[in-house]
Amino acid sequence: MSVIRVDSSEKAGFDKAIEELREYFSGISKSKGRPATYNLLTYGCQLNESDSEKLAGMLQSMGLQKIEGSGELAPADVVVMNTCSVRENADKHLFGNLGVFKSFCSKGETSIIAVCGCMMKVPENVEKIKRSYPYVNLVFDPQQLHRFPLLLRDAVSMHKRSVSICGEDYIAEDSYFPIERERKFRALVPIMYGCNNFCTYCIVPYARGRERSRDLSEIVEELNRLADQGYKEVMLLGQNVNSYKGANGERFPAVLEAAAKIKGFNRIRFMSSHPKDISTEIVDMVAENPNIETHLHLPLQSGSDRILKLMNRPYNREDYLKTAHYFREKVPNGAISTDIIVGFPGETEEDFLGTLEVVKECAFDSAFTFQYSKRPGTKAASMEDQIPHDVVTDRFGRLLDLQNDLAYKSNLAKVGKTEEILIEGQSSTAPDILTGRTMSNHLVNFTIPDALKDPGKTSDDYEGMLCDVKFTNARPYSVDGEMVRLK
């Protein structure tokens, strides 16, 4: 399938649709005697979060104000649900939530509901919305993010439901969109979209289309702009970020190198890296550039070569271990995290023990662990030898026990050290505790001693600042500490 690059010739129509919607929502604001509002609910991975920053930018350009508590089940004039089809039970979640929004529509508190994201690429979900959720006004898939204002304008002006699912793989540069970034210190920068790998369990290639990469010059321009605006952290994103292929044959190290050269970024993060495209060059760059995060997210999925083959993952356990050892040797204070699936069809106890062995040998600092679940339309969904639920939960529990122990040890190894933290804000559990991350992506909760406290600052004022923290205590998923210097 060919990739269609959205160029500036379409921008006039995009801007016009936003302008028309501005007028429309201004009318609603006048009639309600308050600003028209939106609620944006985002599920799933950082690529969805990045899409939502663009949706938020477009909604605000239309004159809508974000409600207090956006992302929760609360009424607003316009509700947008950006769905994910990777997480388990995503469909139950979506349809349950749509039920709640129905009551807001009946009370006149919500007038427009739009549903987008990966779940809209699954025909059963779209059919179900068409059949049973008449109050949903607009449905579109992730490939058409750049058409959101046009689709919304048409749905509003024609007073009828619009369902737009396309078969094309579009790519629009970030400069096409107004972007409302969620965090004032961190910029999410997708550099490639889609996936060609068709791992047999995964819905992403169907939901997100074929692999396509942004232009390197556009990425570098955006990064320079972000550095000028004062962003300290940039997160380069892609389903497989290291599979980046620029129009002139540039590969991922060229993007990483360009980002590392830009003055102002304190942290350059990148994820996820596919093991098939990881190179010693990338690891060497992590080791040599002080502003590239000392953290590698490298999804293993399984430690059994037989299962990796069934999963259509084109690497083996030895390749993976070689990369992990190389990283540990070159980046001694760094961290490796991973994704693991337990209970893939045909997984034997021996295969599973192979996974536990690799987990132990890599001593992952953290891991996202998943119980295999069927995704309709994928090859694995129709494989024989699906693993019984009780076996999956037993294996999953054993993997979690091991991984929790490793994560705790990784945190324990920090105790007594002092490292630089990028402050993310106030901890969700205690108002006098701040939270942030080390260069290796370890989560840290810390206090400010009285001598360093600035009575004129609230916790929010610290967001995006850098400080040194001495680590005092380890927990299973985080480290405690005390600030020793604010930078």
Task: List beta partners, residue 79.
Answer: 39, 113
Q: Which is nearer to ligand SAM, 45 or 469 (CB)?
A: 45
Q: In the structure encoding, which two tokens stand for residue 254, read together?
A: 């060229």
Alpha helix stretches (DSSP H) within 201-247? 204-208, 216-228
Q: Which is nearer to ligand SF4, 40 or 199 (CB)?
A: 199
In Å, what is the CA distance from 239 to each residue of 48, 86, 197, 313?
A: 11, 12, 10, 14
- Does 205 bind ligand SF4 (CB under 6 A)? Our answer is yes
Exposed/middle/buried for 367, CB within 10 Å: 0-12, 13-18, 19+?
buried
375 binds, among ligand SAM, ligand SF4, none (CB under 5 to 8 A by kind): ligand SAM
Q: Which is nearer to ligand SF4, 205 or 376 (CB)?
A: 205
198 binds, among ligand SF4, ligand SAM, none (CB under 5 to 8 A by kind): ligand SF4
- Does 399 bind ligand SF4 (CB under 6 A)? Our answer is no
- Does 375 bind ligand SAM (CB under 6 A)? Our answer is yes
- Does 337 bind ligand SF4 (CB under 6 A)? Our answer is no
- Does 338 bind ligand SF4 (CB under 6 A)? Our answer is no
In Å, what is the CA distance from 259 to each residue of 214, 230, 240?
A: 14, 14, 18
Total number of residues that touch ligand SF4 (CB under 6 A): 10
User: Which residue among 125, 144, 197, 355 contacts ligand SF4 (CB under 6 A)?
Assistant: 197
205-264 residues near ligand SAM, rule: CB under 6 A: 239-240
Q: Which is nearer to ligand SF4, 179 or 282 (CB)?
A: 282
Number of other CB atoms surrounding residue 471 within 10 Å: 23
| Peptide bond between residue 272 and the one before it cis (omega within 30 degrees of 0) | yes
Whether the CB-CB separation of 92 and 127 falls below 8 Å is answered with: no
Whether the CB-CB separation of 477 and 432 falls below 8 Å is answered with: no
267-296 residues near ligand SAM, rule: CB under 6 A: 272, 274
Instruction: Quote the distance between the C-alpha of residue 89 and its chain's center.
Output: 18
Q: Which stretch binds ligand SAM (CB under 6 A): 60-68, 261-269, 372-380, 384-392?
A: 372-380
Alpha helix stretches (DSSP H) within 11-75? 11-32, 46-61
Q: What separation, in Å, do the N-terminal and C-terminal C-alpha atoms of the chain show?
A: 50
262-281 residues near ligand SF4, rule: CB under 6 A: 274
Nearest residue to 444 (alpha-carbon basis) of 474, 405, 406? 474
From the CB of 198, what's the least distance to ligand SF4, in Å?
Answer: 6
Q: Which is nearer to ligand SF4, 51 or 419 (CB)?
A: 51
Q: Which is nearer to ligand SF4, 233 or 351 (CB)?
A: 351
Q: Which is nearer to ligand SAM, 63 or 209 (CB)?
A: 209
From the CB of 211, what's the least distance to ligand SF4, in Å?
Answer: 9
Total number of residues that touch ligand SAM (CB under 6 A): 17
Phi and psi at residue 163, to the nearest 5°: -120, 115
Nearest residue to 201 (alpha-carbon basis) of 357, 373, 65, 20? 373
Contact letters for ligand SF4, residues 143-182 (x by CB under 6 A) = ----------------------------------------
Q: Which stretch binds ligand SF4 (CB under 6 A): 65-73, 193-201, 289-297, 352-360?
A: 193-201
Alpha-carbon span 215 to 192, nearest angstrom: 9
Q: Which stretch binds ligand SAM (CB under 6 A): 74-82, 198-206, 409-417, 454-462?
A: 198-206
Q: Which is nearer to ligand SAM, 169 or 339 (CB)?
A: 339
- Does 121 bind ligand SAM (CB under 6 A)? Our answer is no
- Non-local (6+) Cβ contacts of 379 within 8 A are 198, 200, 312
- Does 403 bind ligand SAM (CB under 6 A)? Our answer is no
Containing 256, the helix (H) or strand (E) segment is helix 252-261
205 binds, among ligand SAM, ligand SF4, none (CB under 5 to 8 A by kind): ligand SF4
Single-letter code of the amino acid located at 52: S
235-264 residues near ligand SF4, rule: CB under 6 A: 239-240
Whether the CB-CB separation of 190 and 215 falls below 8 Å is answered with: no
User: Which residue among 341, 358, 421, 483 contacts ligand SAM (CB under 6 A)?
Assistant: 341
The single-letter DSSP state of residue 451 is: G
Nearest residue to 201 (alpha-carbon basis) of 10, 370, 418? 370
Nearest residue to 23 (alpha-carbon basis) of 66, 62, 57? 62
Phi and psi at residue 298, to the nearest 5°: -130, 95
Binding residues vs ligand SAM (CB under 6 A): 45, 86, 201-202, 204, 239-240, 272, 274, 299, 301, 339, 341, 370, 372-373, 375
Binding residues vs ligand SF4 (CB under 6 A): 195, 197-199, 202, 204-205, 239-240, 274
